[in-house]
Chains A and B, each alone.
Chain A
């Protein structure tokens, strides 16, 4: 079965319902493609997990978000305030799930294309300034991730206004902005059990230790430099 997942190509996003909805000028979301094969992050993250994570979990967030969006637009048009408010939880959860996972796929890269290479340039200096070293930052993120109860995410973000790096956790699928409106996510690590259970079982610390081997610091640097362009 592992062989089959490694040979499986990435799936194009589902276009179901987009035609119908666009006639009402409602912008729905679609499942983004991965820039790499499901099996290319082995042995850090198994191809089976990547496939399930992308094709089932992320897809269900996309589907449910689109559904909730359609119900929301109906309720807004009808002026049904109580339904609008009731749908907020579903939108936050599924929309957050879509946003977070979209960032997550870009945060990972196979070793062959630079996954795991430590950060350089402005992000590297900022990390050394705020945390002392990349190792210290990794240690901090891993500790926060391991201590998180239940489902959630652990983030490396940058505060746009205060111009400093922060390590934050969010519960369930809450995006980083729920912890601060000026926070921009650079790196997110999914610590929901579905992200590691089939491979690491309950040993979350091992997952956190190993994932750094496939983290794409280049993408994080890219986001950081967009926020704080080099003068």
Chain B
């Protein structure tokens, strides 16, 4: 029997592994991915956990770890008054948590999708445009994780230095980019997301709209920030006023720190040209 332990940027608990009362062969595969380290541990030769009751043996704990619900990097009331605590409690606590639980339930039934990192899982379940049933939940978990990390208390303002220069290069000016982004948010039909992505092939930043659960990683682009435009994200605070929500996001919530960190990492995969070093 094989059990995969998957940890996404997590800390491996030694005592947790040793609680398996059997000889365990462990193969540790660690890999650098675009969004962080991924550590996969394959445990084999565990005793049969299924039919042990009538042998009087103590059942080894049936521990299977899939994906967990990641907390946003701030308290749930930290984004007031722009995004209320009530919204965060519902959005993170109910919607996001629901997606994680449904995803784990799916994975519990079928182990063919074990062992992937979150972004790999999204790409695999997208299946090149013919999404598998797990895609919706996997992608929504990814998107929401990304969304919480794209915001911060005291956000907004503008990016600095390299990111600002790149935005000015690709959109003309920062204001132009902001207008572009908000326009995309208002003209998106139905539920979806708006992203600032770094397009790999064109080697430039762009604003992209996606429907429902789709995210630009399925097209191999690198997302920098995103905005959730499903109605549940803003209805409690702004009712139907999507424009106001998008404006508030841009002016008070978006975390350019997170965006800068992401584009720095993205630059190890996409060559954005030589930096402009001023000549003395």
Which A positions have Cβ atoms within 8 angstroms of B? 52, 56-57, 60, 89, 93, 149-152, 171-173, 192-194, 197-198, 201-202
CB distance from A46 to the nearest CB of B (A): 13
For B, the interface residue count at a CB cutoff of 8 angstroms equals 19
CB distance from B234 to the nearest CB of A (A): 10
- With A171-B190, A194-B240: A202-B212 Cβ-Cβ less than 8 Å: no
Complex CA gap A84/B190 in Å reads 22
Interface contact B136-A149, CB-CB below 8 Å: yes
Interface contact B236-A198, CB-CB below 8 Å: yes
Complex CA gap A172/B190 in Å reads 5
| Interface residue B138 (Cβ < 8 Å from any Cβ of A) | no
Beyond known contacts A173-B189, A193-B232: 6 more, CB 8 A cutoff: A150-B191, A150-B213, A192-B231, A193-B191, A198-B236, A201-B90
By a CB distance below 8 angstroms, the chain B residues around A56 are: 239-240
Residue of B at shortest CB range from A94? B189
Complex CA gap A149/B240 in Å reads 20
Interface contact A201-B94, CB-CB below 8 Å: yes
Residue of A60, A150, A152, A173 touching B240 (CB-CB under 8 A): A60
Task: Indicate the member of A89, A173, A201 with the most B CB atoms within 10 Å.
Answer: A201
Interface contact A172-B189, CB-CB below 8 Å: yes
CB distance from A89 to the nearest CB of B (A): 7
Residue of A at shortest CB range from B86? A201
Residue of A at shortest CB range from B232? A193
Complex CA gap A150/B189 in Å reads 11
Complex CA gap A101/B202 in Å reads 42
Interface contact A52-B239, CB-CB below 8 Å: yes
Interface contact A197-B190, CB-CB below 8 Å: no
Interface contact A197-B235, CB-CB below 8 Å: yes
Which B positions have Cβ atoms within 8 angstroms of A? 90, 94-95, 98, 136, 189-192, 211-213, 230-232, 235-236, 239-240
Interface contact A52-B240, CB-CB below 8 Å: yes
Residue of A93, A173, A197 touching B236 (CB-CB under 8 A): A197
Task: Indicate the member of B98, B136, B236, B239 with the most A CB atoms within 10 Å.
Answer: B239
CB distance from A220 to the nearest CB of B (A): 26
Interface contact A202-B95, CB-CB below 8 Å: yes
By a CB distance below 8 angstroms, the chain B residues around A152 are: 190
Residue of B98, B190, B213 touching A202 (CB-CB under 8 A): B98
Interface contact A149-B213, CB-CB below 8 Å: yes
Residue of A at shortest CB range from B213? A149
Interface contact B231-A193, CB-CB below 8 Å: yes
- With A171-B190, A172-B189, A173-B190: A193-B212 Cβ-Cβ less than 8 Å: no
10 A-B pairs with CB atoms under 8 Å apart are A93-B190, A172-B190, A173-B189, A173-B190, A192-B190, A193-B232, A198-B235, A198-B239, A202-B95, A202-B232
Residue of A93, A171, A173, A193 touching B230 (CB-CB under 8 A): A193
Complex CA gap A26/B236 in Å reads 38
By a CB distance below 8 angstroms, the chain A residues around B213 are: 149-150
Residue of B at shortest CB range from A53? B240
Complex CA gap A149/B95 in Å reads 13
Residue of B95, B231, B236 touching A151 (CB-CB under 8 A): B231
5 closest cross-chain pairs (CB), A and B: A193-B231, A172-B190, A150-B212, A150-B191, A151-B190
- With A56-B239, A150-B212, A202-B95: A197-B189 Cβ-Cβ less than 8 Å: no
Complex CA gap A172/B212 in Å reads 10
Residue of A at shortest CB range from B140? A149
Residue of B at shortest CB range from A60? B240
- With A151-B190, A197-B235: A202-B230 Cβ-Cβ less than 8 Å: no
Complex CA gap A93/B188 in Å reads 10
Interface contact A149-B231, CB-CB below 8 Å: no
Complex CA gap A94/B247 in Å reads 23
Complex CA gap A35/B231 in Å reads 27
Residue of B211, B235, B239 touching A150 (CB-CB under 8 A): B211
Complex CA gap A63/B239 in Å reads 18
- With A198-B235, A202-B90: A93-B240 Cβ-Cβ less than 8 Å: no
By a CB distance below 8 angstroms, the chain A residues around B191 are: 150-151, 193
Complex CA gap A192/B211 in Å reads 14
CB distance from A107 to the nearest CB of B (A): 21
Residue of B at shortest CB range from A203? B94
Complex CA gap A57/B189 in Å reads 13
CB distance from A160 to the nearest CB of B (A): 28
Complex CA gap A51/B213 in Å reads 29
Complex CA gap A111/B41 in Å reads 60
Interface contact B94-A202, CB-CB below 8 Å: yes
Task: Indicate the member of B95, B136, B211, B240 with the most A CB atoms within 10 Å.
Answer: B240
By a CB distance below 8 angstroms, the chain A residues around B230 are: 150, 193
Residue of A at shortest CB range from B95? A202
